[in-house]
Structure 1
Amino acid sequence: MITMSRARFAALVEDALDAIPAEFASRLGNVVIQIEEENPDEPETLGLYVGVALTERLSDYSFATPDTITIYRRPILQLCATEEEVADEVAITVVHEIGHFFGIDDDRLHDLGWA
């Protein structure tokens, strides 16, 4: 497990978000990205999307609370040995969870290399 400050980890999450192409990033207006230490129910989980995917929204979808993407710091740090590995895993996790927002399932994300 690598040791990393919360601020540095947050900067890596920001870097991953900055790397998202503008045409996709512009659609994330009602999505909250947050960092937590770990998921209390599933401590090995690296990230979690909670919300209604764009592909599942009906015409009456409005005035909804923001969807959330949570990136879990501790399991990512436990998985990695270097800062470069953390940066890569954060990027993969961010893209993976954003993929769920766009309606892409785990199998397809795996096929695309984002799992």
Structure 2
Amino acid sequence: MDWSEHISPDAADIAHMAKEAIAGLPQPYRAAAAEVTLRVEDFAPEPILDEMRIADAFDLTGLYDGIPLIEKSVMDQPDGPDTIWLFRRPILDEWAARGDVALGDLVAHVFVHELAHHFGWSDEDIARIDRWWE
């Protein structure tokens, strides 16, 4: 295949795929999921990698930054909105390495995994909601 006419998906494409994943969520979660801020960057910023002690930026595909709903209190003074970060280049790298999953499915999986932190879902909850491996 001649790849000279193809470009990789940009941040807007990845964001669109993540937002499409919201439609696949069970009804009680759709509206709340849509309220979470979504940021797509090529890689995690260095301070985040340093804080998480991650040496290789390709090892982090997504991140939830916020206070999970099950832990929120009216007394909380948040620094900013609850945010899900998706890191485009590590996602594309994982997608290429796997070769067995559609990119939209992988983006949805990473997004839902980070959304699980927001909702306070258990691994069992995630497995019921995100059956991307099927």
Query: Same fold, TM exceeding 0.5?
Result: yes
Cα deviation digits, residues 50-109 of structure 1 (max 9, x gap): 11101111242367631110011101100113695311111111111111001135xx26
Aligned position for 1:20: 25
Deviates further, 45-54 or 30-39: 30-39
User: How far has the Cα of 1:8 moved from its partner?
Assistant: 2.9
**1:68-107 maps to which residues of 2 (within 5 A)?**
68-81=83-96, 84-104=101-121
Tell me how far apart the structure 1 counterparts of residues 78 and 20 of structure 2 sit (CA, whole Å).
30
How far apart are the structure 1 equivalents of 2:36 and 2:20? 17
Mapped to 1, the partners of 2:16 and 2:61 lie a distance apart of 17
Q: Secondary structure at the match of 2:33?
A: coil
Q: What pairs with 1:39-50 in structure 2 (closer than 5 Å)?
A: 39=44, 40=46, 41=49, 42=54, 43=57, 44-50=59-65
CA distance in 1 between partners of 2:126 and 2:16 (Å): 28
- Show the counterpart of 1:112: 127
Aligned residues: 111
Higher relative contact order (CA 8 A, sep 6+): 1
**Stretches of structure 1 lacking an aligned partner (at least 5 in a row):** none
Partner amino acid for 1:28? A
Matched, 1:11 2:26: no
Q: Which structure: larger Rg?
A: 2
Do the aligned residues in 2 keep the contact of 1:17 with 1:94 (CA within 8 Å)? no
Superposition RMSD on alpha carbons, in Å? 2.9
Gaps of 5+ in 2: 1-6
